[in-house]
Amino acid sequence: MQEDLERVLFDEATILHRLDELAAEISADYRNRDLTVIAILNGSIIFMADLLRRIPLPLKLDCLSVASYHGGTVTTGEIVFRQLALPDVHGRHILILDDILDSGVTLAAIREKLTAEQPRSVKICVLLRKVKGRLRPVDADYVGFNIGDEFVVGYGLDYLENYRNLPCIGVLRKDRCRSCLTSTDL
Ligand code: IMP
Ligand code: MG
């Protein structure tokens, strides 16, 4: 798998070191609050598992499964919520966890949907944030790493459902991307 990468951006040790810092920041901010973490499947699974074990606070965990449809490696803007019922977030402090903030379409839709359930607060934590213009006005409150506008895989991030189990994060080689990508799970 690693041979399909053009280059490694963050190796496992670098990612875990950064998670120590992020977890300390989040733990300080949510001390004595009713925290509910909403992890967005599938992309945030590995990030969630490593991050949450570094947060020594009582918290609730729920997951949302969302599909975004892509043309090539670009989001088209269509978001489908797979659950019939949303997690019960009324009156709670919500922290949404996702793998990557790209166009912003997905996180804006998720934030809108959860906000309608009247939580006490909503914040967003992403492992990666692409430094680029967004289609929707959304930003993350906690960011693992800023990256350029390149297609990356590994540590939960996929290309056609592959590479999620790579322990590092890297830029996929162009000759490994098929030109027409129809849909991916988050
Ligand atoms: P957005 O709606 O454009 O912000 O895209 C969000 C989703 O697209 C993420 O949760 C990922 O599943 C996927 N995505 C965006 N950029 C990348 C990438 O570079 N690698 C893998 N998945 C990506
Ligand atoms: Mg994906």
Q: Among 40, 41, 64, 68, say which to mutate for ligand 1: greatest number of ligand atoms within 8 Å of CB.
A: 68
What is d(CA 156, CA 90) in angstroms, rounded to the nearest whole number?
Answer: 29
Report the pLDDT value the prediction gives residue 68, as an integer from 0 to 100: 75
What is d(CA 121, CA 183) in angstroms, rounded to the nearest whole number?
Answer: 31
Q: Among 70, 99, 155, say which to mutate for ligand 1: greatest number of ligand atoms within 8 Å of CB.
A: 99
36 lines ligand 1 (CB under 6 A): no
CA 102 / ligand 1 centre spacing (Å): 6
124 lines ligand 1 (CB under 6 A): no
Are 170 and 155 a contacting pair, CB within 8 Å?
Answer: no
114 lines ligand 1 (CB under 6 A): no
DSSP string for 5-65: EEEEEE-HHHHHHHHHHHHHHHHHHTTTS-EEEEEEETTTHHHHHHHHTT--S-EEEEEEE
169 lines ligand 1 (CB under 6 A): no
Report the pLDDT value the prediction gives residue 42, as an integer from 0 to 100: 92
Index of the ligand 1 atom closest to the CA of residue 108: 2
pLDDT tens digit at each of 186 positions of the chain: 889 999 999 999 999 999 999 999 999 999 999 999 999 999 999 999 999 999 999 999 999 998 876 545 556 667 888 877 788 899 999 999 999 999 999 999 999 999 999 999 999 999 999 999 999 999 999 999 999 999 999 999 999 999 999 999 999 998 888 743 444 444
Q: Whose CA is nearest to atom 15 of ligand 1?
A: 102
The fold for domain 13-148 equals Rossmann fold (3.40.50)
Ordered by start, the domain boundaries in the chain are 13-148
Radius of gyration of the chain (CA): 16
Alpha-carbon dihedral sign for residues 87, 89, 92, 97? positive
101 lines ligand 1 (CB under 6 A): yes
Residue-wise pLDDT tens digits, 90-101: 999 999 999 999
Index of the ligand 1 atom closest to the CA of residue 185: 12
Ligand nearest to the CA of 68: 1
- Number of separate helices (H) and strands (E) present in the chain: 3, 10
What is d(CA 16, CA 32) in angstroms, rounded to the nearest whole number?
Answer: 25
